[in-house]
Amino acid sequence: MIDLMHTSGGIGLAAQQIGRAIQVCVLDLLKTDREFTWEIDGAKPPLELIMPMVVVNPVLKAHPEFEEIVEEGCLSFPEIRGDVCRPERVTVNFQDAQGVPHLITCDGLFARCLQHEIDHLNGILFIDRMEKKVRAGLDKAVKELAKKTREASEPAA
Ligand SMILES: [Zn+2]
């Protein structure tokens, strides 16, 4: 999953995006502007030590008192981007690839990426979180993409 995320040029990938119904997602924010803060198990390890990050069985607690609108994209929807409103800060309980439990609190892009990927694990897409107005503007592109995907998965005659 980490390799696929890297070769796709993404900063996150959820198991659901590769057809696996398991509670696992991966993140790599090393190549971003790093304008966010994080605390894991009460410490602030360098980003190099925690990325790429494997997140298993995440349980998310958002801090909804501060929300922000940021444009998002998704590896499952190439060419589609749109504004999504989300809490700016989250706390997540999860296990790492070795099954060790952790508690992370983060904000900014880190929090946004985690929420986007955890949404995938729960069958929620970023287009579902867009305001109706924004979503309506993308409707044509979404429909075309759905059609293309269907055609691609149909056996060639
Ligand atoms: Zn996505």
What's the gap in Å between 127 CA and the centre of ligand 1? 10
Among 35, 88, 117, 154, which one carries the catalytic annotation?
117
The residues near 97 (Cβ < 8 Å, ≥ 6 apart) are 54, 56
What's the gap in Å between 157 CA and the centre of ligand 1? 31
The tokens for 11 are 């900063």
Q: Can you give 84-122 as a three-state secondary structure string?
A: EEEECEEEEEEECCCCCEEEEEEEHHHHHHHHHHHHHHC
Q: Is 117 a catalytic site residue? A: yes
Predicted TM-score of the model (pTM)? 0.90
Q: Check residue 43 and report its DSSP letter.
A: B
What's the gap in Å between 129 CA and the centre of ligand 1? 12
What are the distances in angstroms from CA 89 to CA 38, 51, 106, 111, 144? Answer: 10, 19, 6, 6, 34
What's the gap in Å between 81 CA and the centre of ligand 1? 11
Would you say 108 and 61 are in contact if contact means Cβ atoms under 8 Å apart?
A: no
| pLDDT tens figures, 74-131 | 999 988 999 999 999 999 999 999 999 999 999 999 999 999 999 999 999 999 999 8
| pLDDT tens figures, 26-81 | 999 999 999 999 999 999 999 999 999 999 999 999 888 899 999 999 999 988 99
pLDDT at 152: 67
